[in-house]
Amino acid sequence: MMMGAIAGALLVGITAHEFGHALVAYRLGDMTAALQGRLSLNPRAHLDPAGTMMLLLVGFGWGKPVPVNLAVLRYGRRGMALVSVAGPLANLFIAGLFALPFQMGILTIPALWPPTSFDPSALPAYMATMGVVLNLVLAVFNLLPFAPLDGSNILLGIAPRRLLPAVIRLQVMGPGLLIFVILLDFTMGIGILWRAIGPVVNWGTVALLGWTI
């Protein structure tokens, strides 16, 4: 049950995230993603084969990056920052939608978290809870300033011109740093990433559900 709730919540979150990028790019004059069928809420338009396989196997995956042509995008690098922030904002919006049934009293927070046994009647509550938590995780994680995460392009778009060389160097180093931290967390169990994003995710969970993970 837990794996199904995680996979379903991530499927919705990844789709909304990539659609957000495509929509803002389209609004800013770049037709690239729209012409490739990415201006869609159909999950099949955004799923990456390897990311989908990981989603099915381990409950964590990723979507296909939305192509953006900076040459035709309005506002240049600031336009790219707007496109980049649209993904995390879409996840925050989806987290809010998943929280609505709890705020309206239609669902109640599962008494046992994480669940230790299968209870079909609790599946909607588990799915909605995971929808809130995982969309918050997607939003906050993608705001980290390391390429290829969205935070890298947001930082590039808002940084003063005098700081651009340093930001570009960080972009070049970003993928290696991110992989190193993920591998360190996975092998040593240090929890560096969660220490970085956990407090914000917990704050968002309390704000939306009145409950902390």
Mean pLDDT, contiguous 10-residue spans, the chain (213 residues): 75 94 97 95 87 61 87 94 97 97 87 60 82 94 92 95 93 90 83 91 94 75
Q: How many domains does the chain have?
A: 1
Options 18, 55, 150, 209, the catalytic residue: 18
State residue 98's pLDDT score: 96
State residue 56's pLDDT score: 59
CA-wise closest residue to 38 among 49, 24, 50: 24
Residue type, 150: D
- The per-residue DSSP string of 50-70 comes to HHHHHHHHHS---BPPPP--T
Helix (H) or strand (E) holding 76: helix 76-103
- pTM, two decimals, is 0.90
**Domain span at residue 8?**
2-209
User: 10 Å Cβ neighbour count for 144?
Assistant: 19
User: How far from the centroid of its chain's Cα atoms is residue 136's Cα?
Assistant: 7
Which residues does residue 63 pair with via DSSP β-bridges, in sequence order?
A: 47
Which residues does residue 57 pair with via DSSP β-bridges, in sequence order?
A: none
18 included as an active-site residue = yes
